[in-house]
Every structure is written in C-alpha cells, then in structure tokens.
Amino acid sequence: MEQHSRSSWGSNLGFLMAAIGSAVGLGNIWGFPYKMGKSGGFTFLIVYILLGIFVGFVIMSSELAIGRKTKLGPVGAYNKISSKFKWIGFLAVFSPFIIMSFYTVLGGYCLQYLSLNLAELSFGLRDAFGVSFDGSTTFGAMLTNPIGCAIYTLLFLGICYLINKGNLSDGIEKFNKIGMPALFVMLVIVIIRSVTLPGASEGLKFMFVPGYAVKAGFIEEAPSLLSVISIAGGQMFFSLSLAMGIMVTYGSYLSSYESLKKNSLIIVFSDTTVALMAGIAVIPAAVANGIANGVAYSDIQLAGPKLLFVTLQDVFSEMGAIGPFFGIVFYTLVLIAAISSAISLIEVVVAYFVDRGNLKGKPVKREKAVFWVCIAIAIEALLVAIDGLGASGIFTFWGTAGWNDCLLDFMDCWSEGVAMPLGAMLMALMVGYELNTDDVLAEIHKGGKQTKAFDTFYKLCIRFITPVAMAIIFAGIIAGFFTNLELGGLDAEMVGYIIAGAVLVIFFFVARTGKNQNRLQ
C-alpha cells in the first residue's frame, strides 16, 4: 500500500535521458570549459576522467543502488539504512532546495536572452532603431530591471512546475526524451559555426593545449596540482548532480532489471562528452570575437554568467543578420539544459514530501507536493532575482565580509560549497565502513554480472579513494573561502586541508566505532 503513490520510469531509456538531463546543465556550459582551459587543458581532462571513474561513477552507482533498494528519496533512504548518518539525507534535500533559489533565476536569464534574440530576429531592431544589443549593455539593463527578472524567474519556475506535476513518465521523462536529443543537435549546429570563425583555433588551444592559457596570456598563473584535483573534483561532482539526493531519488523509480553499472557509466560518459562539446561550442566563438575586437586575452570573459550573457551575446549581436538565429538556437539549448536540471532538483524535494506522507499513512498527492515546493522555491528565488547578481545592493550586508559578491554566491557556497562535498564524503564513509558493503554491491550487480574484479575495485574506491578525494575537494573549497576572507597571514590552503582532514578523520571513526554492519535490505 505504501508505494502506490510513488511513480516509476516508463523505460530505462527514459531514466537515462532524465539522469543525463539532470547532469547536463549550466555547469557543463559555463564551468567545465573554462576550468579545463585554466587548469591545464588535456592534463585537466585526464584528471577529470580519472576522478569520474574512481569517484563519480562509484558514488553514482551507490546512490542509485540505495535509492532503488529502499524505494525512497534520500531522507527516507538514509534514515532507514544508517543509524549514524541518518541526517545526511537532510543535507541532500537542503542543497537542491537552496540551489533552486538561483538556478531558476539563471533559467529566467536564459528566457530573457532568448526573447531578446527572438525580438531581434523578428523586427531587426538593430537596423530599425540603430541600437546595438551588445552583451554588457543588455546584461546591465537586465540586472537593474528587477521586475523583468522576477517575472522571468517565475515563468521559468512555472515551466518546471508544469513538467514536474505530471506523472513521472509523462512529465520529466517525456521532456528529457525530447529535450536531450534536441540539445545535442543544437550543440552541433553551434559548434559548426563556432569553430569556423576566424581565430577560433586560439580558443581551441586555450581549452586543450596544456600550459597555453598561461603562455598566451589568458591567465597569469596555473593552479597547483592539488588545486587542479580539487577544481576537477568539485566540477565533476556538481556536473554529475551527485550528493544532492537526485540519483537516490531517480534510482528509487528504477526497476531491478536494469544494470546500475552500465547506466552509471553511460551517464558519466555522456555528461563529460556534452561538457567537452559545450566547450568547443562556446570557447572558440568567445575567443574569436575577442580577437576580432582587439580585446586582450586576459579580458575575455570565459566563465560564469558573463560568458553566457555578455561574451556570447556579443558574438551573436556582431554576427550580422544570421546572428539572432544562432542566438535563439544557443539560448534554447541552454534553457533545455537548465530546465532538465531544475526539474530533477524539484523532484528530490517533492519525493521527500511524498515519502513522508506514505510513511505516516497519509499519502500526499504528487501534484500538491509539487505545487507547494514550487511556491517555496518561488519565494527564495524572487529574492535572488531582485538582487540581480548584486546590482540591487540590497543584500550587501552579506557581502561586507568579502566572501560573497551577492546573494546568489551566498546561496551557492552553502549548497555546492559545503553540503555537496560533505554529503558525498559522509556517504562514502557510510557505505564503506558502517553498512555492509556487500549489500550495496549486491544491489549494484542486480540486472548485470557480478565479478570479483569489480567488487575489489568498488571497495578500494569507496573506502579509500573516494573519501580522500572528497577531502581534497572540500579542502579546496574551504581554502577558497579563506582566500576571499583574506585572514591576515593565514595560508588558506593549509587551513583548508586541516579542516577537511579533521572532518574526514572524525567521521571515519564515527563510521567505524559502535554498532556496524547495518544492512541495506
């Protein structure tokens, strides 16, 4: 009776598209390419792929297994299987909720730039009125127009609401089954245009050739090896939507006949491929346009909101009559990426309420849960929307400490910065030391073949490699905070390693002492 209001995927392909949709998001487009270029090109890619296999793949299959076995979202699942780490489920619901406060706003920006390019294509505004829609002017105008931002934020959230409120297979699954292939095709169109622009090769060299970013003057100094690991790991984590309860939730809707190993590999591979493709789509165009305008390499914005809405809008507005067409294709693809991630974030919070209702014997209708979750998100998102990346100056009291430029950064540092790496580290310790690891492995093997080699690999990763890698990632993030805070003579990296190391050691002992061998069954 308990499960009657829980949905399930229509097919494994539907599940895969939804999981890839969650993974492929803004992080792939505005984070990965720049981080790769800045942190050593191909070398970074190798570090990223290794981390993807030894950490990302392992955590992803564990999360899917925990979700599928318990048929619960993260709060219910961790509560059921762990006596010591029950509470990490809450971290995993807290982060998606907080991330939605700004993901919706960024989705709103995509809609606004889509509208701008649609208007330009329809009316030829530039020729008719003699105004140019360059990136920095439009971006500044948008950020200082809080009503517009608020309305588009709500519009974006409204679209997500409509998708989430349906059945899983008619809503999330259907959207991704159409959206993901469409995104892929659009990406190819943008790539073809981008790499054929004069000067595009400089962008490709920035992204792929080790050391080129410094040599050509894009950046002053390359990060150290440890920070490369930390940057690559943090990016991989965010990009694969890990430690956010998403894979637990999506796994809980999956049938036992499907192979979790194969599915996890496909998700990691697809997400990395799209990140590389996104880089080839955006970086060469951005660099080529910078060269054409005589901008110094160090001044070209290649990451974050400015890459999407300033640099690339410049590319489209200077491309001539066909520019708005490419603008429409590009912002639509970013919009699809943003929606498919946002709906997965909403789903985690929804699953929490649905599970809680079931557990209490008072089933909650999915539609109702989606509605109230979206209302709560609307409230936090409106604050971020009105702030306009700090343009409003309303929330500067948080910025005065120097560690957050705006409300969006503030929200981001708690979710992506603290809750995610911490949640993943604890989850690995729980699976590796508190639970009976073989139970988790048995679930991972369902629907596939069990081999000794895989078991050894998995145990090695979950017990040793993953927790240590998570500590390094976490240390890098803490170091980032301290660098911004400029705490006197303290060495930020050192502080990061001490704090992260201490957390790792403490929870390692917590996991190992007292009653162990909780079962996943």
Token pair listed for 485? 């805070």
CA 69 to chain centre: 25
Of 16, 18, 20, 26, the one binding ligand PHE by CB under 6 A: 26
Q: Is 473 one of the binding residues for ligand PHE (CB under 6 A)?
A: no
- Residue 382 near residue 155 (C-beta atoms within 8 A): no
Q: Binders of ligand PHE among 289-348, rule CB under 6 A?
A: 341, 344-345
Q: Is 465 one of the binding residues for ligand PHE (CB under 6 A)?
A: no
- Residue 58 near residue 240 (C-beta atoms within 8 A): no
CA angle 95, 392, 109 (to 5 degrees): 60
In 10 A of CB 326, how many CB atoms?
A: 20
Of residues 268 and 429, the one with the C-beta less far from ligand PHE: 268
Of residues 241 and 437, the one with the C-beta less far from ligand PHE: 241
Of residues 263 and 392, the one with the C-beta less far from ligand PHE: 263
In whole angstroms, how far apart are CA 191 and each of 2, 116, 274, 342, 413?
48, 22, 12, 25, 32
422/90 Cα distance (integer angstroms): 12
Task: Lay out the site mask for ligand PHE across 113-152 (x = CB under 6 A, - = otherwise).
Answer: ----------------------------------------
Helices (H), 29-124: 32-38, 42-51, 57-70, 74-81, 88-123
Among the listed ranges 7-15, 17-25, 123-131, 211-219, the one in contact with ligand PHE (CB under 6 A) is: 17-25
Q: Is 102 one of the binding residues for ligand PHE (CB under 6 A)?
A: no
Angle between helices 135-143 and 88-123 (to 10 degrees): 120
Q: How far apart are the first and last CA of the chain?
A: 19
Output Rg (C-alpha) for the chain, integer angstroms. Answer: 22
Q: Binders of ligand PHE among 339-398, rule CB under 6 A?
A: 341, 344-345
Of 9, 14, 18, 22, the one binding ligand PHE by CB under 6 A: 22
Q: Is 27 one of the binding residues for ligand PHE (CB under 6 A)?
A: yes
Q: Is 25 one of the binding residues for ligand PHE (CB under 6 A)?
A: yes
Helix (H) or strand (E) holding 135: helix 135-143
Of residues 344 and 437, the one with the C-beta less far from ligand PHE: 344
Helices (H), 196-224: 200-208, 212-215
Q: Is 23 one of the binding residues for ligand PHE (CB under 6 A)?
A: yes
Of 28, 176, 227, 272, the one binding ligand PHE by CB under 6 A: 28
Of residues 26 and 428, the one with the C-beta less far from ligand PHE: 26
Q: Binders of ligand PHE among 209-268, rule CB under 6 A?
A: 238-239, 241, 244, 246
Work out how close the CB of 244 gets to ligand PHE at its nearest, in angstroms, rounded to a whole number.
4
Kindly list the residues in this chain that would bind ligand PHE in the complex (CB under 6 A).
22-23, 25-28, 238-239, 241, 244, 246, 341, 344-345
